Amino acid sequence: MNIVVQKKEWIAALLAGGRGSRLESLTEQIAKPAVTFGGKYRLIDFALTNCVRSGIDTVGVMTQYQPLLLHDYIGKGQHWDLDTLSGGVSILPPHSKLGSTAWYSGTANSVYQNQDFIESYDPDYLLVLAGDHVYKMDFSIMLDYHKEVGADCTIAVIEVPLEDASRFGIMNTDETNRIITFEEKPEIPQNNLASMGIYIFNWHVLSEFLYEDEKDLESSHDFGKDIIPTMLREGQNMFAYRFDGYWEDVGTVDSLWRANMDLLKDMHLGLESWHILSRTAGRPPQYIAPTGSIKNSLLTEGSEIYGYVENSIISAGVIIEEGAVVKDSVIMENTRVCKNAVVNYSILDEYTVVTEGAFAGMPLDSEDAKLTVYARGTVISNSEFETQNA
Amino acid sequence: MYIGLSLSDPHPDTASDGNKIRTLSATRFAGRYRLVDFMLSNMVNSKINTIGMILNSHFQSLISHIGMGKEWDLARKTGGVTFFPPYLADERQSVNSENDGPLQRAVEYIMGASEEYIVLVDSSIVYNMDYRTAIEAHRKSGADVTAIYTKKRITPNMRENAVIFDITEDGRVFGVNRAPYSSDKLNISLGAYIMRKGYFIQLTSGEKNCGMLRFSRVLLSQALSRLNVLAYEYEGYCALISSVETFYQCNMEMLDIRNRNALFDYEKRRIFTSLRDSLPTKYGINAQVNNAMIADGCQIEGTVINSIICRNVRIKEGAVVKNSILQDDTIIEKTAMLDSVVTDRGVIISEHRSLMGDVSYPVYVDRYRII
């Protein structure tokens, strides 16, 4: 018997427990949703802002891998106006209960383990989403659609290039968008309609399936691999909701770099009208010195430019000293590029130092150009560069 | 054990009409701040979390800026910011009745608080200081009042609102004066005093509302013979803004890294302000920027030289902005030229137009004007 704190029509479960190992060193010390993006955001800002803009006031954030920075960043949710009297943001790490102590074994299991949290709001619908995608989306339109078609589960989908389709959950639908088949990461995709990892479930239906899935020892307790295929097999009403805006699952360092660069192409991805909320440091404005020069780049508060910057994203508190050149790169918070240093086609994580005259990365237009990623706190000097490339 | 109280002065007559519609302490500074941010941050950085603010006319933009004080960590159950606006006590009188005004309300408020001392400050003087060192000096000295001042040369246009202390060799204030015509360093009051609550109540008895100028030049000045007033020197950067010229001059001082580093001590004493989560600023392929302080949310496609650009400003291709301060939401259309101009918020300068003032007399464009 659960106690209902306050009835809500829908609440969100934000899955933020994964590492995102394909982000290499960027997620050695922090969870993927906490990775810096676009100079002044962290990835989780997009999911949280979308929730708030869609009228959701209760968000449970499931965390597990390296949660320290993520927990600190989310705080009480005040930066997204989620410090409300009822609901707001709740951080939900794995916990022990009478009779069991368990890590989250999969995305579905993390929701299963937090049933009490969800039940306390007695929601009709549960929105499940990931904390590491870059997009802006009004989930309330998706919910309207979910109700209109009478679905038990609605999955947001987007068309992807066929050659990329094997990275995603791919579905076939009929002309009414009813989902006929669903394959998680198929080797030979039949279609290019990809799951965005955003689901709306009728909560009472989902909770049954979670319960059954938990008893299945073969299951990996994952939404895409287990829950969705099972629901489909058992004849639940499942519909695809087509989304045609910008959406990027920044799963790899290359896609993270590309999504950052997309901010330069399409002016802010039309983000002006959506206003992504975030926790900003509150530093003095950026300064460009008489020796500085900057082209086709994004800059944010607290950065100081004495050198040359082109086609780059510069985060808060970054200093580019005189004579330094930064091209085609993503420079994260509090990094310093010293005098006459050269940075090409790289991601420099927070607190990196490129020492005087050092080289980082290889030029984008060079042969076999490959993105270089420097881990948090790396000190780059020429000798190190040489050994790395030896 | 300390309670903060701020006094504000109405705009002097030299301020433009545009500035007069908001109270002085809501005036913008360094691209993203308001003058009042410095006072509030100094308080919070000195662990003074109970702050009363006596307001003057046109305080609406100030109140909407501060709100509950969330960004200064002042939205809390104990303490926080309390406003004392002027009000109509009796419909037959214009504002404030004979013996009742915001100052009397503030006196009741500080009497009711458990703190023993008050730190009385001007809400529109810009500096970055931990009051606790001055508080320590005050307690050790046994003085009745400690007055914080700085040694600084001032320009003629700052004279009007400057309060100058005469200080004895052993550091006592024995006179409060207007600024002489002088290029020497003067002992300029920062409008910041530390005293027991009782002295403040004594000094202001009979006042309905008083600004910091009146407090220093009249109330404190008259009491110098009976009070022991200690002078405490502040050695950092400070800006005294009271007119369009001083607004321009002090903002431009922020282009000097020494001033910026002295004022914004991000690691130790951060200056807080209300946050808008503007997007990062985008620089276009043809942007040319040279010696400029630029806030977030801007789109810079033209040329910017020696200027301060506030939030969400657009400077389009071919436009040239020199020696200017553009406040929030200003739009400079293609090929427009500005030199020594201050725009208030929401100004639009149309294509091909040009405006030129002088660094000693900048042109001021009132808010929401379209040129």
Over residues A16-31, the mean pLDDT reads 81
Q: How far is CA A355 from CA A313, A374, A390, B269, in A?
A: 20, 13, 19, 28
Q: Which residue in A275, A288, A290 is closest to B277 by CB distance?
A: A275
Distance from CA of A301 to the nearest CA of B (A): 6
Query: pLDDT digit string (tens) for B129-149?
Result: 999 999 999 999 999 999 999
- Cβ atoms of residues B51 and B72 within 8 Å: no
Cβ within 8 Å, pair A287-B257: yes
Is residue A360 within 8 A of residue A377, CB to CB? The reply is no
CA-based nearest residue in chain A for residue B312: A272
Task: Verify whether the Cβ–Cβ distance A288 to B289 is below 8 Å.
Answer: yes
Token representation of residue B28:
């913008």
Give the residue-averaged pLDDT of B212-220. Answer: 92
Q: What is the pLDDT of residue B205?
A: 86
Q: For position B140, what pLDDT does the model report?
A: 94
Asked whether the beta carbons of residue B291 and residue A267 sit closer than 8 angstroms, the reply is no
Residues of A in contact with B71 (CB under 8 A): 282
In this structure, of A253-257, B86-90, B143-147, B204-208, the range with the lowest mean pLDDT score is B86-90
Report how far apart the first and last C-alpha atoms of chain A are (Å, whole number). Answer: 64
The amino acid that residue A130 corresponds to is A
Beta bridge partners of A353: A336, A379
% helix, strand, coil for chain A, step of 5: 30, 30, 45
Tell whether B31 lies on the interface with A, counting CB pairs under 8 A. Answer: yes
A40 contacts on B by Cβ (under 8 Å) = 279-280, 296
The band of B94, judged by pLDDT with boundaries at 50, 70 and 90, is low
Determine the average pLDDT of the residues in B184-209: 91
CB contact under 8 A, A295 and B283: yes
Nearest neighbour of B295 by CB, restricted to A263, A268, A285: A285
Asked whether the predicted pLDDT for residue A161 surpasses 60, the reply is: yes
Cβ within 8 Å of residue A175, ≥6 positions away: none
Selected residue of A287, A293, A309 to mutate for chain B interface (largest B Cβ count, 10 A): A287
pLDDT of residue B160: 81
Tokens encoding A116: 């009490």
Residues across chain B: 371
pLDDT of amino acid B14? 47
Instruction: Look up residue A136 and give its two tokens.
Output: 């802006």
Which residue among A277, A282, A286 sits closest to B294, beta carbon to beta carbon? A286
Q: Do A294 and B284 touch (CB under 8 A)?
A: no
Residue B243's pLDDT band (boundaries 50, 70, 90)?
Answer: confident
- For position A31, what pLDDT does the model report? 87
Kindly state the average pLDDT of the residues A182-203: 91
Q: Do A282 and B71 touch (CB under 8 A)?
A: yes
**Which distant-in-sequence residues (6+ apart) come within 8 Å of B235 by Cβ?**
B150
Q: Supply the DSSP symbol for B220.
A: I
pLDDT > 70: percent of chain A: 95
**Residue B127 — very low, low, confident or very high, per pLDDT cuts 50/70/90?**
very high
**Is pLDDT of A269 > 80?**
no
Average pLDDT, whole number, for chain A? 90
Please give the torsion angle defined by the CA atoms of residues A213, A216, A219 and A225, in that order, rounded to the nearest 10 degrees: -40
CB pairs under 8 A between A and B: 101
* pLDDT (0 to 100) of residue A387: 45
Partners of B31 on chain A (C-beta within 8 Å) are 284-285
Residue B197 has pLDDT above 70, yes or no: yes
Among the listed ranges A10-14, A78-82, B290-294, B337-341, which one has the minimum average pLDDT value? A78-82
Interface ipTM: 0.88
Least confident window among A27-31, B39-43, B64-68: A27-31
Angstroms from A231 CA to nearest CA on chain B: 41
Cβ of B290 within 8 Å of Cβ of A267? The answer is: no
Query: Which residues from chain B sit within 8 angstroms of residue A260, using beta carbons?
Result: none
Out of A285, A290, A313, whose CB is closest to B32? A285
Residue of chain A with shortest Cα separation from B310: A285
pLDDT beyond 70 at B322: yes
Distance from CA of B1 to the nearest CA of A (A): 28
In whole angstroms, what is the distance from residue A159 CA to residue B159 CA?
67
State the nearest Cα–Cα gap between A81 and chain B, in angstroms. Answer: 11
- DSSP secondary structure, A212-269, as one string: HHHH-TT----IIIIIHHHHHHTT--EEEEE--S-EEE--SHHHHHHHHHHHHHTGGG
- Collect all residues of chain B within an 8 Å Cβ-Cβ radius of residue A263: 282
The pLDDT of residue B234 is above 90:
yes
Q: Which of A52, A301, A330 to mutate to test the interface with B (most CBs of B within 10 A)?
A: A301
Instruction: Check pLDDT > 90 for residue A163.
Output: no
Which of A101-115, B36-50, B246-260, B297-311 is predicted least confidently? Answer: A101-115
pLDDT band at A232 (very low <50, low <70, confident <90, very high): very high
pLDDT of residue B17: 53
pLDDT of residue B20: 53
Asked if B1 has any chain A CB less than 8 Å from its own CB, the reply is: no
Question: In this structure, are residues A344 and A328 in contact, taking their beta carbons and an 8 Å threshold?
Answer: yes
B314 is written with which tokens?
């657009």
Residue A234 C-alpha, separation from nearest chain B C-alpha, in angstroms: 46
Q: What is the pLDDT of residues B255-271, one digit of tens each?
A: 999 999 999 988 889 99
Q: Give per-residue burial for A254-286: e unless 16+ CB within 10 Å, then b.
A: ebbbebbbebbeeebbebeebebbbbbbbbbbb
| Average of per-residue pLDDT across A121-137 | 93
Which phi and psi angles does B283 have, rounded to 5°? -105, 130
B293 part of contact set with chain A, CB < 8 Å: yes
Q: Where are the alpha helices (DSSP H) in chain A?
A: 44-53, 68-74, 107-112, 115-119, 139-148, 203-215, 228-233, 253-265, 382-389
Whether A42 has a pLDDT exceeding 90, the answer reads yes
Residue in the structure block whose two tokens are 């725009």: B343
A135-166 in b/e form (b: 16+ CB < 10 A) is bbbebeebbebbeebebbbbbbbbebeeeebe
Instruction: Identify the pLDDT of residue A389.
Output: 44
Share of chain B above pLDDT 70, in %: 92
pLDDT of the residue at A239? 96
Shortest distance between the Cα of B352 and any Cα of chain A, in A, equals 24
Q: Do B284 and A280 touch (CB under 8 A)?
A: no
Task: Compare CB distances from A283 to B266, B277, B294 and report the shortest one's residue.
Answer: B266
The pLDDT score that the predictor gives to residue B98 is 54
pLDDT at B100: 66
The residues on A that touch B, with CB distances below 8 Å, are 38-40, 78-79, 263-264, 267-268, 271-272, 275-278, 280, 282-290, 292-302, 313, 317
- When mean pLDDT is compared across A249-258, A285-294, A318-327, the lowest value belongs to A249-258
Selected residue of A272, A291, A299, A332 to mutate for chain B interface (largest B Cβ count, 10 A): A299
- Band the pLDDT of A268: cuts 50, 70, 90: low
Q: What integer is the mean pLDDT of A205-213?
A: 94
With residue B350 as reference, give the H or E element that holds it.
Answer: none
How many percent of chain B have pLDDT more than 90? 67
Evaluated on CA atoms A47, A52, A55, A59, the torsion sign reads positive
Q: Which residue of A has its CA nearest to B32?
A: A285
Residues of B in contact with A267 (CB under 8 A): 282, 299
Q: Tell me, yes or no, if B295 comes closer than 8 A to chain A by beta carbon.
A: yes
Predicted confidence band of residue A211 (pLDDT cuts 50, 70, 90): very high
Q: What pLDDT shows up at residue B210?
A: 83
B290, B296, B314, best to mutate vs chain A, most A CBs in 10 Å: B296
pLDDT mean over A34-46: 93
Of A129, A136, A127, the C-alpha closest to A38 is: A136
Asked if residue B231 has pLDDT above 60, the reply is yes
Rounded-to-integer distance, Cα A281 and Cα B272, Å: 9
Mean pLDDT over the full length of chain B: 89
Task: Specify the pLDDT at position A331.
Answer: 97
Q: Provide the pLDDT for residue A185.
A: 87
Confidence at A273, pLDDT banded by 50, 70, 90: low
Selected for mutation to probe chain A from B28, B275, B283, B290 (highest A CB count within 10 Å) is B283
Residues on chain B touching A277 (C-beta within 8 angstroms): 277
Tens digits of residue pLDDT in A293-336: 999 999 999 999 999 999 999 999 999 999 999 999 999 999 99
**Which of A16-20, A110-114, A197-201, B148-152 is predicted with the least confidence, judged by mean pLDDT?**
A16-20
Span A157-179, average pLDDT: 90
CB contact under 8 A, B264 and A283: yes
Which of B346, B349, B362 has its CA nearest to residue B157? B362
- Chain B interface, best mutation among A136, A277, A288, A296, by max B CB count within 10 A: A288
* Residue B203: other Cβ atoms inside 10 A: 20
User: Which residue among A275, A283, A297 places its CB closest to the CB of B283?
Assistant: A297
Cα-to-chain-centroid distance, residue A193: 20
A368-372, B59-63, B89-93, B323-327: which has the minimum mean pLDDT?
B89-93
Residue B282 contacts A, CB cutoff 8 Å: yes
CB contact under 8 A, B290 and A288: yes
Distance from CA of B65 to the nearest CA of A (A): 15
